[in-house]
A and B are shown apart, each in its own frame.
Chain A
Amino acid sequence: MNGIGWPLVELSSKLLERDEREAVLGDLLEAKESAWQGLLDVSGLVLRREAGFWKALRPWLAGFGVALPNSFLLMGVSLSVSCTYQRLINHKVYDVWWPTGHEGFSLLLCHTFLLIAWSWAGGYVVGSVSRRTLWVSAALSLLPSVICLGTFRLENLSRLCLFLFLLPAILGVRQGMRNARISVRSASLLALTITVLMISAWSSKALWIFNWALIWPAWYLAAAAWRSGQEGGTGSWPMDHATYTRVSLR
């Protein structure tokens, strides 16, 4: 396997688990397969592995239950926060259809906190629930931005305003992927704070009805942390490996 063939095979094998990569590349070398045949073999295995992940519910939940709808809704919230900020600080006036209007500084703060908390909790759920299909979830979350960037004409506003949710969401994904522990107390406090602030915004007519869908990742985290505690863990979620093994063996 000379030329660019072997590096291509090695590159595609990066999508496999470490031990499997070792075994497969060793088998290809031992069988003296051509680079083209090796590439076909590795790609076929990668495809089968990727397809296998989708037999479970988790990747569907992460991709179509959180990443896609949340990124669409959070883009709207980002826009709303930006418009309100512009109106309050720079005294810009927007047409009546803009998602801004009567909010004062307290509601701006409330929306800003909610935007960060919704984004972080959603990102955390996506990162922890299905790490192996994260690239699909990331692609799905980019889909609404392609549509929005093509259709929205934002006078006085940078297009970057649509992506205020991105940074906290990425932080959430990173922490979710690293299995950063969340105690029942912290998860419950986050979910309760989000709920109280949403009720407050809703009673001030400053919350779109569909934004209620953004609440469930926070409550999911709280429920998962609580369940982990009930099943004999340390009361944090995701479970540590020892707890997971103990619970699985029951």
Chain B
Amino acid sequence: MLGEFEYLLITAAAGLGENAYGAAIREEIEASTERRCSMGALYTTIDRLEAKGLLKTWMGEATPQRGGRAKRMVRVTAKGVHAAKDFYDAVMRVSRGASWVENRIGNAS
């Protein structure tokens, strides 16, 4: 089972598709969670997920806005998609009947 941050990272990378790399994933996570994402957490988690076969990474192109430095590109594997779906389903199942979920439904209606 994935951890919370692992799920965030896989989901952000999947959403970015072909443009998924370190800085873009970080920006996406920070925008979604409104919390700071450290480089340490990002890159060690990418390594861990790659070791588990949930991500694939490679060194991409260098751009002038990056001072001519290469990007570390990320792609979510089929196994990664499956693991993220399992996590999402588990969160949805466990959240059924939770007071905040009911309140939210109540507020919406």
Q: Which residues of A contact B (CB under 8 A)?
A: 19-20, 22-31, 40-42, 44-45, 47-49, 52
Chain A contacts of B67 at CB under 8 A?
25-26, 29
Are B69 and A45 touching (Cβ within 8 A)? no
Whether A26 lies near B40 (C-beta < 8 A) is no
How distant is B16 from chain A, measured CB to nearest CB, in Å? 14
A44 to B66, CA, bound (A): 21
Task: Decide if A20 touches B43 in the complex (CB within 8 Å).
Answer: yes
Number of interface residues of B (CB under 8 A): 21
Q: Which residues of A contact B23 (CB under 8 A)?
A: 26-27, 30-31
B70 lies within 8 A of A30 (CB): no
Proximity bits, B17-30, A CB within 8 Å = 1, else 0: 00001110011000
Residue ID in chain B nearest A21 by CB atoms: B69
Interface centre among B21, B41, B43 (most CB of A within 10 A): B43
Chain A contact residues: helix, strand, loop or mixed: helix
Q: B interface vs A, CB < 8 Å?
A: 21-23, 26-27, 38-41, 43-44, 59, 62-63, 65-67, 69-72
On whether the beta carbons of B39 and A45 are closer than 8 Å, the reply is yes
> A26-B62, A27-B26, A31-B26 known; 17 other A-B pairs, CB under 8 Å?
A22-B59, A22-B70, A23-B21, A23-B22, A24-B43, A25-B69, A26-B22, A26-B67, A26-B69, A26-B70, A27-B23, A29-B69, A30-B63, A41-B38, A41-B39, A41-B40, A48-B44
With the chains together, A42 CA to B40 CA distance in Å? 7
Contact indicator B39/A27 (Cβ below 8 Å): yes
- Smallest distance from the beta carbon of A205 to chain B beta carbons, Å? 54
